[in-house]
Amino acid sequence: MAWQSESIMARRGIAKGARGAHHVITEKDQGKYHYVYGPYVEPVLTIDPGAVVSAETHDAFEGAIKHETDSPSKILNFPFLNPQNGPIYVNGAEKGDTLAVYIESIVPRGPQPRGTTVVMPEFGGLVGTGNTALLNPALPERVKKLEITAEDGTRWNDKITLPYEPFIGTIGTSPEIEAISSLVPDYYGGNMDLPDVGTGAVIYLPVNTKGALLYLGDCHAAQGDGELCGVAIEHPTVTTVQVDLIKGWPIAWPRLETKDFIMTIGSARPMEDAARIAYRELCRWMAADYGFEEIDAYMLLTQAGRVRLGNMVDPKYTLGASIKKSFLV
């Protein structure tokens, strides 16, 4: 991880990139998983900046969908969906700071077939939903149970195998006074479903309340842009992250850094507003930290910006806008 020593996390974080204590949150440690991002529960763990945390995450259905003959609409009990580990209290974190989370590894766990994806009524990008409320009949329900290994990926069918490209579907800090469903992505992170939030990346999250209260869960073994039917390849994992704290760096929306690019992440409806948020944040970041005038950043992004669509199915849609570090000169 050579590049990470040059990351913003390493340069500005309190722990300066040094790996601290290693904590583990097993299913048993976690006990009750959470369905909202909020400040109204006790932390499951308290850490210092630099600490490494390995968490046993559930899949988005908390393992409830076991067979291809199961009916998701009968089994699932809204709003008790998308269970989250946490919250993790980070010592010293206060409103106006930023949490840096390096994603060290994501390892599938649990008995095979570990992977699940479904089509269910009123959910998905190409069907009527509770928001795009229509009178058309629903599609039939469908469940696929899938074998996943880190080495071989996801066996989709006899002909198709999807490489294992895991990422954290839902990660974020607590809002200050709100407690928001873990199905929602917003300024504090949450259910962004953005494949760039994968192994080797650093995600930066705004701290809104004392201790930051980091939550995470909902890891995907693979996902296309947009998470079209609403359900990626959901699977339980052991996810390991290193957490650092950047004091006095207030950010309005999540940011992400890899070896090659920096990215800002916006979540909103309609989708163009998610793109506007992401790109405006990127203009502002380039202006604040890389010596651009805002209008020059705007003009350069017109020629060199890149967009990744996270989800087009959640209560807000998520897009990341990025620029290569090689242009930040």
Q: Which of 64, 75, 196, 298 binds a second copy (CB under 8 A)?
A: 298
**Residue 249, interface with a second copy (CB under 8 A)?**
no
First CA to last CA across the chain, in angstroms? 23
**Residue 87, interface with a second copy (CB under 8 A)?**
no
Q: Which of 6, 29, 152, 272 binds a second copy (CB under 8 A)?
A: 272
**Residue 170, interface with a second copy (CB under 8 A)?**
no
Q: How far is CA 202 from CA 92, 103, 212, 318, in A?
A: 20, 6, 16, 18
**Residue 40, interface with a second copy (CB under 8 A)?**
yes
CB of 301 to a second copy, least distance (A): 5
Q: Which of 53, 148, 219, 233 binds a second copy (CB under 8 A)?
A: 233
Binding mask 177-216 for a second copy (x = CB under 8 A): xxxxx-----------------------------------
- Asked if 33 and 84 count as a contact pair (C-beta separation under 8 A), the reply is yes
The pair of structure tokens assigned to 291 is 């010596």
Toward a second copy, which CB reaches closer, 14 or 319?
319
The pair of structure tokens assigned to 210 is 């004392």
Q: How far is CA 49 from CA 84, 104, 176, 242, in A?
A: 21, 15, 20, 9
**Residue 263, interface with a second copy (CB under 8 A)?**
no
Toward a second copy, which CB reaches closer, 3 or 327?
327
Query: Looking at 9-17, 18-26, 52-60, 291-299, which segment touches a second copy (CB under 8 A)?
Result: 291-299
Toward a second copy, which CB reaches closer, 22 or 324?
324
CA distance 237 to 171: 14
Other Cβ atoms closer than 10 A to 15: 18
- In DSSP terms, 240 is beta-bridged to 54, 105
Q: Which of 128, 155, 210, 290 binds a second copy (CB under 8 A)?
A: 128
Q: Which of 23, 109, 144, 155 binds a second copy (CB under 8 A)?
A: 144
Residues across the chain: 329
What 3-state DSSP class applies to 137?
A: coil
CA distance 181 to 191: 9
CB-based burial, 267-288: b 16+ in 10 Å, e otherwise: bbeebeebbebbbbbbbbbbbe
**Residue 290, interface with a second copy (CB under 8 A)?**
no
Query: Looking at 15-23, 65-73, 103-111, 264-272, which segment touches a second copy (CB under 8 A)?
Result: 264-272
Closest CA to 11 of 251, 230, 189, 204: 204
- Contact positions with a second copy (CB under 8 A) in 62-81: 79-80
What 3-state DSSP class applies to 40?
A: coil
- Contact positions with a second copy (CB under 8 A) in 94-113: none
Query: Looking at 7-15, 17-25, 94-102, 269-277, which segment touches a second copy (CB under 8 A)?
Result: 269-277
Q: Which of 91, 112, 132, 149 binds a second copy (CB under 8 A)?
A: 132
